[in-house]
Structure 1
């Protein structure tokens, strides 16, 4: 599961910045629960409790990437919690049953990122990462309202070619208006606070007495809100790639620049990378400035189909591809080679990275806009605006979000929304030193009032520490013992770095080949890495 990701801008083209006998046993359990429970409480912090419109319907199901039988179901809730008799929407969930059912009253709720990703669609990734937890406890996945199967708010244009589209010519305002007009929903009701009420309604319906939470990226915000509103329902919490309540998602722009500087540093400190790509920062800046002048169009082989296709490389696509590649260690290792080749006039490696990352987020754009426009855009500070002007990536992101939110009618959350979570629930925070989106200082910020917490920084991880390291073992230990006692992050120090690719196929050097149409570059006096 690629967690994980905050979006590069708000247009569809730019949305690129998880045995049989056991299953049968669980079928009986959930059918019995469904028969016994006629309604589930759907509580609201602002109003008196309302009721779920109908009981969940639990059935055997199969999930993408997994060959077991699982349990899937749904509950029906009011779209607007203050209007119990108004429009109803279905909230879908899936259960990965425990291998040994030693804790039938507990489950781990895994919350996806985005905002806008489906937890159920990422079941295979969650299953791999949480395999030790699943030995004794169910894994619960819920498609947050507006995502996946839960009244999806999507604005995808299936006729738009990600290869040939010139994203610099897209009209964000017009696209936002068209997106809003195409959605049959009250978009003001798809923020995080309402979604937490859905999560709690599912817990109550299924009869779990306690939940352990795992939230990745934006999902860490959802986990913190669960801690705020329903602390009595929680046993432990893990926040991975932490988004503190005090931080607007829009601040990700400066984090991306930090991620680039860390990449330059890592290449310079690696003898092979430095030898093969000595002018990496200058190469990047040269290609970036060339594309700032005009896009480059080439006939290429589509990496997915091997058919001839037009590839329109714009500045936004170039920087967006590099940005998204930094989330994933295996693709991050390709970046120096791809940048170096682009500076030589060969854009095929960038095409490969762009194609790998173009469809990796699977973001529900409508839900994403409802969250960001109601919870984040009004928290932009003058310093954030100033910082954004210093970076093309941050500046274009901010500009796109502002234009989108001007046409997305979401009332802002009040100031209390951004207050740090004050809690004594055992909480594990995981940050990746190489993370291009949620840097380690964000984890420290979230820890401010968490009186029973530990924050570990994995020096070789990017975004999603538990997927790349022993972080998953730490989660299992926390869930098993219910406390942070004896949990330490020593295992995170293991060097799991991937070697940088020195060519298109391997991390081993090949004979140098001169390219006739290479772009001539001059090394700058100081690179970003030199300043660190």
Structure 2
């Protein structure tokens, strides 16, 4: 995800009312949570922020306490709706508050009548953060590409985190975090709430629905990562399907096939040539380095551009150049998708605390088979990383999905390489008649921010009639049916002088 279960760089991958805006200039004091005016990066409106104390270990309410950071974007209207929207971030390991600017843009229409609530899940942002800050962006590619060094860095990070006052890494599971979210709801005085989750945030949303079904008015799940997904196994299967789809689309598109007639065979030739020494520029310094490129490294970086079709459009050209010995474009495309060496804002300690407790122990039960090209490198990496990572306990019911009494909108990108439609389809069936699944064509990971999909989500949440909300969502999403896949990037000297549409719409 990340917004999905993307592994960190090491693995190279949304009741009583609050006071109206006129009263927001002062502090609002609520049981256990005092809100003060604050400004959030990328947010155009004033917010209110506060901290809620929560026990690190729920079984020891009087034990070590952690600070749970909360931000509220107050509804613009003077008479807001009583049901706010809580946004659940992805990763696992992303901070909801750090995504405030993006969330505001996605929820702009909802914000007119509803508060938007952002909670930094424990382990993320400033809520008892579990960050691994050992890697500098300027670190050499040779060191970053060394699995032994990467593993040693993670061990040192784990040991450092365990020395923190809140260093019991068993206490950072999804069910505990959703109990935190319920405590925030109560402290803010809300009744029923709406939830929007992206990627890992969908797993969190499903667990909140499991634990507190009567508190959910609407649930939007974008890029569904259910609790029984077994992330390290599904990574390979789903990335393989996305890459095969890209190659197939290029073969069927006249313009792409004319430019890249041997794309699939070139890719296989590249894989067969590995490991090999290549010269690559370090993304932050630009300094060229010699690196031994392995199959796991290459498939790891190729998987990341597949998240966004506009990035994947560069893969055919990058593969062609790599087949001629020039790997900078192919590797650079993946590193750019991963933040160009700056990372994806993932708290790695929280990421592994979740995956090591919730996914890795179930790998023997998984049914996904490794993709032919991507293999089991991700699974092996997580197995090694989780060998000594403390694992939280999970109730057996965590992995069960029962029929929902609240309307649920599930969204999928047709070409999503990490949470494709197959996962959402399974969840929608388990949730029953109160769930509707929408697949957005020619889209990757995360679709609720795309054009008209913001309005689809708005209408689903804003509609008072639950049955109508469910019935209208697929019809409203018809606005995406003509959405094209971005055309394959052409070499500069061959780029057409006319509009991009002239080259055909596939890559």
- Alignment TM class, shorter chain as reference: 0.7 to 0.9
Partner Cα distance (2:497, 2:141) in 1: 30
Change (3 A) 1:504 1:197: farther
Q: For residue 364 of structure 2, what is the aligned residue in structure 1?
A: 381
- Secondary structure of 1:345's counterpart equals coil
Structure-to-structure mapping, 1:168-207, within 5 angstroms = 168-171=146-149, 173-183=151-161, 184=164, 185-207=167-189
Query: How far off is 1:22 after superposition?
Result: 7.5
What is the number of residues matched between the two proteins? 478
1:122: Cα distance to partner? 1.2
1:146 alignment counterpart? 123
* Contact 1:430–1:471, Cα closer than 8 Å, also in 2: no
Return 5+ residue gaps in structure 1 as ranges: 39-54, 511-532
The alpha carbon displacement at 1:346 in A equals 2.1
Alignment check: 8 A CA contact 1:16 1:361 kept:
no
Q: What does residue 479 of structure 2 align with?
A: 491
Query: What is the Cα deviation at residue 89 of structure 1?
Result: 0.6
- Structure 2 residues without counterparts, runs of 5 or longer: 499-507
Quote the offset at 1:337 in angstroms.
1.1
User: Structure 1's 448 and 27: CA in aligned 2 closer, same or farther, altered over 3 A?
Assistant: farther
Q: What does 1:85-484 correspond to in 2, within 5 Å?
A: 85-159=62-136, 161=139, 163-171=141-149, 173-183=151-161, 184=164, 185-250=167-232, 251-290=234-273, 292-298=274-280, 300=281, 304=284, 307-310=286-289, 312=291, 314-315=293-294, 316-359=296-339, 361-381=344-364, 384=367, 387-388=369-370, 391=372, 393-450=374-431, 451-482=433-464, 483=466, 484=470
Q: Distance in 2 between matches of 1:166 and 1:144?
A: 28
Contact preservation (8 Å) 2:318, 2:330: yes
State the alpha-carbon separation in 1 of the partners of residues 113 and 494 from structure 2. Answer: 41
Aligned with 1:58: secondary structure?
strand
In the alignment, the residues of structure 1 paired with residue 451 and residue 140 of structure 2 have an alpha-carbon distance, to the nearest angstrom, of: 33
SS at match of 2:248: helix
Cα–Cα, structure 1 residues 177 and 503, in superposed 2: closer, same or farther, change >3 Å? same
Alignment pair present for 1:501 and 2:462: no
CA RMSD of aligned residues (A): 2.6
* 1:162 shift after superposition: 5.9
1:303 is displaced (CA, Å) by 5.3
Q: By how many angstroms is 1:171 displaced?
A: 4.8
Q: Per-residue deviation at 1:441?
A: 1.2
Partner SS state of residue 449, structure 2: helix
What is the DSSP-based 3-state SS (H/G/I as helix, E as strand, rest coil) of the residue aligned with 2:448? helix
Aligned to 1:43: none
SS of 1:98's equivalent in the other structure is coil
TM-score, with structure 2 as normaliser: 0.87
Is residue 6–residue 91 contact of structure 2 (8 Å, CA) maintained in 1?
Answer: yes
Q: Distance between the aligned counterparts of 1:352 and 1:505, measured in 2?
A: 20
Provide the rounded CA distance (Å) in 1 between the counterparts of 2:366 and 2:189. Answer: 47
Does the C-alpha gap of structure 1 residues 187 and 497 become closer, same or farther in structure 2, counting only changes over 3 Å? same
Distance in structure 2 (CA, Å) of the matches to 1:331 and 1:189 = 37
**SS of the residue 1:430 aligns to:** strand
Cα separation, partners in 2 of 1:3 and 1:56, compared to 1, 3 Å = same
Q: 1:171 to 1:165 in 2, by over 3 A?
A: closer
Are 1:113 and 1:217, in contact at CA under 8 Å, matched by a contact in 2? Answer: yes
Is residue 44 of structure 2 the alignment partner of residue 70 of structure 1? no
Shift of 1:195: 0.3
Q: Describe the SS at the equivalent of 1:465.
A: coil
Cα contact 1:96–1:139 (8 A) shared by 2? yes
CA distance in 1 between partners of 2:250 and 2:183 (Å): 48
Alignment partners' CA distance in 2, 1:6 and 1:197: 21
Asked if 2 retains the 8 angstrom alpha-carbon contact of 1:247 and 1:418, the reply is no
Inter-partner Cα distance in structure 1 for 2:445 and 2:436 = 18
Residue 434 (structure 1) shift? 0.6
Tell me the SS of whatever aligns to 2:24.
helix
Q: 1:197 offset after TM fit, Å?
A: 0.9
How many Å separate the matches in 1 of 2:55 and 2:348?
A: 22
Relative to 1, partners in 2 of residues 1:175 and 1:352: Cα closer, same or farther, differing over 3 Å?
A: closer
| Cα drift, residue 357 of structure 1 | 2.0
Residues 16, 507 of structure 1: CA spacing in aligned structure 2 closer, same or farther, 3 A cutoff?
A: farther
Q: Distance in 2 between matches of 1:303 and 1:399?
A: 26
Q: Displacement, 1:436?
A: 0.4
Partner of 1:524: none
Shift of 1:412: 4.8
Deviates more, 1:447-456 or 1:169-178: 169-178
Q: 1:15 to 1:396 in 2, by over 3 A?
A: closer
TM-aligned CA deviation for residue 79 of structure 1 = 0.5
Residue pair 1:172, 1:403 contacting (<8 A) in 2 also: no
Please tell me whether the aligned partners of residues 279 and 288 of structure 2 are also in contact (alpha carbons under 8 angstroms): no
* 2:4 counterpart residue number: 5
SS at 2:84 equivalent: strand
